A and B are shown apart, each in its own frame.
Chain A
């Protein structure tokens, strides 16, 4: 039997290299929020309340373009819908936790915490699931908050010639490419991207939402035919 403490620390060890990758991402999120005109307190609140990087970047981008609030919220939720899959896939491992613990554990669910924990749970039945997961997830949370604050502090002093706004699509790209794994996901990406370009002029940035829906349908269609 492994102890809770050992499992927590073993989770922390796995999360450390991941932190190296998310720190620049968090800083970009902070800079993007401040450059979009979001006040510092609310930029930090986005990191604490939403706590989902790609969707925070999208929200900052859309807020900067004065898109209607409902479109901003809808876009965030569409981007974060993938977490429903994580929630479903990790749920059986948390079944024995109390309702209160489940509610707390869910808050820390991220791409990384999910992927790392699930790999361990599938391999090792003896792991204390709650503590291993928290060992992975809480350092990521702390690093994300500090990185966002660093970005917020930096944000106001970055000169436009640094073209830092280009970092936003680059971060999305780095998350996008690994999600393209077969023909159907490739079609979803190509159709989504092309539709977004063609629909760019639509009011309220509706083009983004339309492109997302059309891309998902295209992926489903290809999967159906194949």
Chain B
């Protein structure tokens, strides 16, 4: 079993901090501002790029790194599995299909070459 370096108290603080902040984001306009026109223009334009920039920053390193180092060689099976998953995500826009394609490819490649 993995262990975190966090005490249970610290974990609660993280959860509550993240939860309260996320709720504040959700409730912001519904309860307090009320109109789309109330968002400053630059914030509205920046928000459009949040999912693309953040999710890509979370995903790409996990495809490119293998055992803690950048690996663009054919030995890095995650690179191929990830590439196939990108294709499936693009064609289907379906979470389940993307999961199945990526995991399936990784299992198959590990079985064949692992």
Contact = CB atoms under 8 A, between A and B. Distances in A.
Nearest to B37: A88
B27 A174 contact: no
B50 A58 contact: no
Contacts of B73: none
B45 A197 contact: no
B53 A88 contact: no
Nearest to B62: A169
Contact of A212 (B6, B34, B54, B96): B54
Interface string B52-72: 111111111111110000100
Interface in B1-45: 1-6, 8, 10-19, 21-23, 25-31, 33-36, 38-39, 43-45
A interface, over-half SS: helix
B78 A166 contact: yes
A208 B59 CA distance: 10
Contacts of B36: 88-89, 91-92
B113 to A, nearest CB: 14
B34 A85 contact: no
Contact of A193 (B8, B17, B57, B89): B57
Determine which residue in B8, B13, B19, B43 has the highest number of CB atoms from chain A within 10 A of its CB, and name it.
Answer: B19
B14 A73 contact: yes
B101 to A, nearest CB: 8
A80 B59 contact: no
A146 interface: no
Given A24-B96, A77-B21, A212-B53, A88 B27 contact: no
Contacts, number: 291
A145 interface: no
B interface, over-half SS: helix
B52 A163 contact: no
Contacts of B13: 69
A171 B99 contact: yes
Given A66-B5, A76-B22, A175 B99 contact: no
A1 B28 CA distance: 31
Contact of B25 (A75, A83, A170, A196): A83
Interface of A: 20-22, 24-25, 28, 35-39, 42, 45-46, 49-52, 54-55, 58-59, 61, 63-64, 66, 69, 72-73, 75-92, 94-95, 99, 102-103, 105-107, 109, 156, 163, 166-180, 184-186, 188-197, 200, 207-208, 211-216, 218-220, 223
29 contacts: A25-B99, A39-B8, A42-B8, A49-B15, A50-B22, A63-B14, A76-B22, A77-B22, A78-B50, A78-B54, A82-B47, A84-B25, A85-B47, A87-B30, A91-B29, A92-B35, A102-B30, A106-B27, A170-B98, A173-B82, A173-B86, A177-B89, A186-B52, A193-B59, A197-B70, A208-B58, A212-B50, A212-B57, A216-B49
Given A64-B4, A163-B110, A176-B55, 6 more contacts: A59-B14, A87-B25, A89-B36, A196-B60, A216-B50, A223-B45
